[in-house]
Structure 1
Amino acid sequence: MAADVTPVPTRWVGPLRLSGDVTGEQKVPLATYETPLWPSVGRGARLSRLVDDGIRVTVVDERMTRSSLFIAQTAADAAAAARAIAARFDELAATVSARSRHARLIDVHTEIVGNLLFVRFALTTGDASGHNMATLAAEALMELVLAWHPELDYGSISGNYCSDKKATAVNGILGRGRNVVAEILVPEHLVHDQLRSTAARIVDLNVRKNLVGSTIAGALRSANAHYANMLLAFYLATGQDAANIVEGSQGISYAEVRGDGDLYFSCTLPNLIVGTVGNGKDLPFVDAVLEQLGCRAETEPGANARRLAALIAATVLCGELSLLAAQTNQGELMTSHLLLERRTAAGR
């Protein structure tokens, strides 16, 4: 007998008003058991509709990586091989293009530890998140490198310098996934009326909590309040690999007071690993959601995934700003949670 399946509670929030690389207004789906997340993101979405340009989103970069591990006899052998591999980039790129319709090699980085040679291949992968595409490319590239350098031995198809589903520095420095910045400029009166705070108080809290607090906690290239909440809810609603919120939630919230009390607020998410094709994306409910998000358009490869990443970053900004504003007022966060969760429970 098939087990009963209970879907994760899902609600469409918004719409969000967007400008930059994505324009217009768009509702977004959030699948979560943390029901206060819906009105919190909703408050940020409402604020975006009151601002002329809404939330401006910029897709800075996109790539997927796989790091292969080779074993040399000595560090000198590994270093020589690394130089030779870098010098033959065009041949590596041609090998990838010949094997795949969508994968394109764009960068190679090497690291040497003792006699171990780590080669990090970076590729664009169209509208796919690219995990499997990058692994298939790395297999072909490893075969080529081992043929060029019989002095090297196979170590592993993945040497953890990628780095997949782990909180590391390398992804933020060299890039993995879609790198997206979402930003908003909120006039002083809206900060007061909609967020019940001031720009100065939000800026101070962001420095003291997100920057200083995260630093003393030992955060790794990360300074935010709760990116993971919005990411998981969005990932579950759109058929993404939810484990990628590990590196996806590594991001930085930044705020400034501008003019006579206006608030500039931004969320930078350098490691958004998302796609609109691939595993899980053909499920009926996922397909319907992506269609409603405008991520099923027949356009250039990668455009749908970039749109999805931009929508996710804007959603993160809505929830992040709403939470920070609430925490500038003593007692507001807990009062809101209790009120919203009791209301939800009473409605069941």
Structure 2
Amino acid sequence: MPDVASSAVTPIPTRWVGPIRVSGDAVAGEHEVPLATYETPLWPSVGRGARVSRAVEGGIRVTVVDERMTRSVLLVAPDAAAAVSAARAVQGRLAELQALVASQSRFAWLLEIRDEVIGNLLYLRLAFTTGDASGHNMVTQAADLVLQDVLRAEPRLEYGSVSGNLCADKKVSAVNGLLGRGKNVVAELLVPGAVVERELRTSVRRLVDLNTRKNLVGGIAAGSLRTANAHYANVLLALYLATGQDAANIVEGSQGITWAEERGDDLYFSCTLPNLVVGTVGNGKNLPGVELALERLGCREDRAVGANARRLAALTAAAVLCGELSLLAAQTNPGELMAAHVRLERRAEVRA
């Protein structure tokens, strides 16, 4: 008899929301996105933001600023002077280490090495491109190669760890906010004031004020680390689950800044996400539901290496903007947020 507990499947309600109108180098056109969540009001909320995107020429403009996956190795030196000497030697051998990584992987490319010396400890933060994979295992394997080579070249160093936490993997950190981990993506939208009033039932001024007072000042008061947003994590988790991503990466993924400003009568609204860790190949992507979702998103096409993952990142950022804009609009009106939750969740219970 199979172990029922070990083979159980946890169902997560999933709905396709949109379409969202997007433009940019990574993706263009109108596309629905899958959201797997128990927080069912998320569907109509993102859907409202999607309606706004369709009311704007060009929709949400998405720019992929950068892409990299990181792993930091830890080495132990006899003293700080030896650690600094080794760090300089490693930097001088960057081209050699790039060739070493390329010889062992078709898709990993070593972009840069950043070093940090703390006492006699030497941390090397390695950044790689990883094609269409999110790249966790790929960069760990490449980091192992680099680590072994450095230990051979620098006999005074000792092994510390293949991951020294400067990556920083699945943790909120200043280093990821500054240098990025995964895809660094900006989604932005210019919404006419009339559309704000009609679709979001608020005004440009109230939205701008709320974003400043809540996300920026409130975030500072809370001690948020390079983070000023209302709920990036909600949309990220829903999309990550539906598309077979490592859901724990919403920890760094939810870092990001929402910015809003008045431009005449219009609203400029943007979401900057420096740490979107997503991939279209690798673990979890061959599950039937995930495979179908990626195909429907157009992320299984024959494109240049990395283009499908950039497409997924761009659609993810656009969905985050839709959810962020809708939630902030609701919070400008007293009682609207809770009333919507009660109405929508009770309706779902009746249908069940």
TM-score (norm 1): 0.99
Check if 1:235 corresponds to 2:240.
yes
Aligned to 2:282: 278
- Distance in 1 (CA, whole Å) between partners of 2:290 and 2:351 is 27
- Distance in 2 (CA, whole Å) between partners of 1:80 and 1:108 is 15
Check if 1:15 corresponds to 2:19.
yes
Deviation at 1:174, TM superposition (A): 1.4
- Distance in 1 (CA, whole Å) between partners of 2:331 and 2:293 is 32
The CA deviation string for residues 101-160 of structure 1, in whole angstroms up to 9 with x for no partner, is 000001110000000000011000000000000000000001110111000000000000
Name the aligned partner's letter for residue 76 of structure 2. I
- Give the one of 325, 328, 332 matched to 2:329: 325
- Give the one of 189, 193, 211 matched to 2:216: 211
Deviation at 1:6, TM superposition (A): 4.1
Deviation at 1:55, TM superposition (A): 0.5
The CA deviation string for residues 277-305 of structure 1, in whole angstroms up to 9 with x for no partner, is 00011111111110000000111110000
Deviation at 1:173, TM superposition (A): 1.0
The CA deviation string for residues 176-208 of structure 1, in whole angstroms up to 9 with x for no partner, is 100000000000100110011111110100000
Check if 1:72 corresponds to 2:92.
no
Aligned to 1:244: 249
Aligned to 1:310: 314
Check if 1:174 corresponds to 2:179.
yes
- Distance in 1 (CA, whole Å) between partners of 2:289 and 2:204 is 40
- Distance in 1 (CA, whole Å) between partners of 2:295 and 2:9 is 24
Aligned to 1:129: 134
1:287 match: secondary structure: helix
1:161 match: secondary structure: coil
Check if 1:151 corresponds to 2:171.
no
- Gaps of at least 5 residues in structure 1 are none
- Distance in 2 (CA, whole Å) between partners of 1:282 and 1:5 is 16
The 5 Å alignment of 1:89-100 reads: 89-100=94-105
Aligned to 2:270: 266
The 5 Å alignment of 1:22-101 reads: 22-101=27-106
1:329 match: secondary structure: coil
The 5 Å alignment of 1:115-126 reads: 115-126=120-131
2:341 match: secondary structure: helix
Tell me the matched-pair count.
Answer: 347
1:254 match: secondary structure: strand
Name the aligned partner's letter for residue 54 of structure 1. G
- Distance in 1 (CA, whole Å) between partners of 2:271 and 2:339 is 26
1:234 match: secondary structure: helix
- Give the one of 282, 291, 297 matched to 1:293: 297
1:101 match: secondary structure: coil
- Distance in 2 (CA, whole Å) between partners of 1:283 and 1:35 is 23
1:232 match: secondary structure: helix
Name the aligned partner's letter for residue 318 of structure 1. C
- Distance in 1 (CA, whole Å) between partners of 2:231 and 2:181 is 20
Aligned to 1:345: 349
Aligned to 2:226: 221
- Distance in 1 (CA, whole Å) between partners of 2:244 and 2:323 is 21
> Identity of aligned pairs, percent?
68
1:162 match: secondary structure: coil
Aligned to 1:255: 260
Deviation at 1:5, TM superposition (A): 2.8
- Gaps of at least 5 residues in structure 2 are none
1:166 match: secondary structure: coil
Deviation at 1:168, TM superposition (A): 0.4
TM-score (norm 2): 0.98
Aligned to 2:107: 102
